[in-house]
A and B are shown apart, each in its own frame.
Chain A
């Protein structure tokens, strides 16, 4: 019997199976941010164990609230900053170099096919786009990861998604993953890896694959995983060219993590995207989705472009393509948070920032921002946001506020019309 990608990664990283069904794995990369790490650091200090297993395998960033907004968030940033300095963690990203963790760390080439990755952040599943096993964990798992470089998992089963067809105009990776979550439900992949296959995925950029894998957790998934291919190698090439004689050699090496054709799956789900249309959520759960065409007269107060789901350059290009030469409706506020300084700079050089500003958008620094309502862009009670983020829980962006999840194109079209709008007429 062949193996899935996750099974291969588990086998290669197995430290031991202390009890049947529980596997302790060696971690390749431990990612940290300033919200969930400081309490782990404090606890390690309190236990007299203020150590890190390997500073070169730990990457840290201040991204959720930056620049700090008050004494508490300044303290969280300081704890992370002091700890990174104390332990010689070279890959620490502070103000001026910081951005949304799940956009910044891949941009730096830190995640490779076959890696095991944990972070105290549920959207860590994003990194599975590189053919890695990447899982969000709590602070205690993170703490043990920092101290010992291991993490325990139940061996997850895998759901295989065969995604076929060319994406129609105005339909993107975000629509695909919202469609999948709508189909299987918010609990549909709990304790499962979501392994994505098919020509639609093969044709996607790494940015789109990250959007896809980012929302695996919204179906309960442990990790999203895409198969490593030449697109993966091309993305990583600036970082790996010293390790391989050629791209073909890198591909040959990375392909060993690809799922075997005879692997055993918990479920196989076929998705044909040919008839897909732009999608938006309509309720307070990510599986409550409709075609935008079926959501007429849904006014919004705020548009948010950004986040680890859709704050990358490709997303900004798509949204700018819709907004070019247009003004957003006077009834809405538009906020753009480019996900990293590099993305911000490239958007500036390409003239995208001009387009957003002329349309009436406010541009913030790279940060998680409005997505989870803990820094800027918070909604007032009863307000509604059309957002490119990943979670629409009640109150997520501010108490009493409502969030509709959608692609950057749909959010941009909605900005123009002041209500949820179909982007296809602007493309």
Chain B
């Protein structure tokens, strides 16, 4: 232990006498790690925000009845044409109901599955929003507002009004922001809705809904399941969609496939619906790490350089240390220690720099209509990034110091001393 201290003292003294070069090398590491922390905090914050934007409102499994053509046309059932090449032109979708058959027992069944966090019924239908003589096409969705708020953060997207009012007020509606703007409607106003059957319903606006996705906000509104069922003139068991939230999101595809087979329904899982988000996240992470690693490699070359220089300059010291009984390993350790001192000091400063910059970005105002819940730039302060950052610094400086130290280890003292 005492001997290590001797080596450490030598390492430290060398660095202190070359303070300017040491500081430059350490600053390289500082900027590398600082940039990594800033980038990774900002990028993952951004990722999380973008994912939340869509994934929060997207059910893990969405179950509905799809209108599609029959896979087996009647002709293929006809035995006489079994071996013939049959061509059917202009296939039309099969006549079927939009609602899910036996929806309530299915929901009960799904709720018993222990991986299912919640199963929420919805009633979705086409309507027209009527403003004087103008009719705007759109959809209205009947929901259980309390559960939607609890499981799908629905409250985040109600920018005006209280979502719970939907339940408390009869014949009420949460109007899409785009529609409200087009029709100049505000909370407390009434909006006329015409069902596809032609019946007119006057509904009271209790809130404005804004998802941040314009295409959605221009057409979609929400009401209670009961009101929606009245609009479609359906009974209590008229349910068009079931949304599942799972405890383990990775199980979504398996569960979706099971439901499709078991109930003969269409079930879309979240991975299918949002494959592009996964790609975006991966690419942003890739950029973050590519930039950070590049910066660290540059810093690594700085350290490599200063150690090489130091070894040339201290050739005599190395020779006499070896002559007086320090082994090659001891000498190597001196230079590895120097690399690590630079790495650790530079790395820790880098963590502080990164933390400062991340907090600075976190404080910058960032308001956009598309994202109603965001007021400042999104930053993800995950302590793990700091652990990764300092590990990064230590590993890269160790590698940068290893090669020069290997050379110092091999220095032949006889050659140096006789060469004088």
To the question of whether A and B form a pair in one complex, the answer is: no
Q: Which residues of chain B have a CB within 8 Å of any CB of chain A?
A: none
Q: Which residues of chain A have a CB within 8 Å of any CB of chain B?
A: none
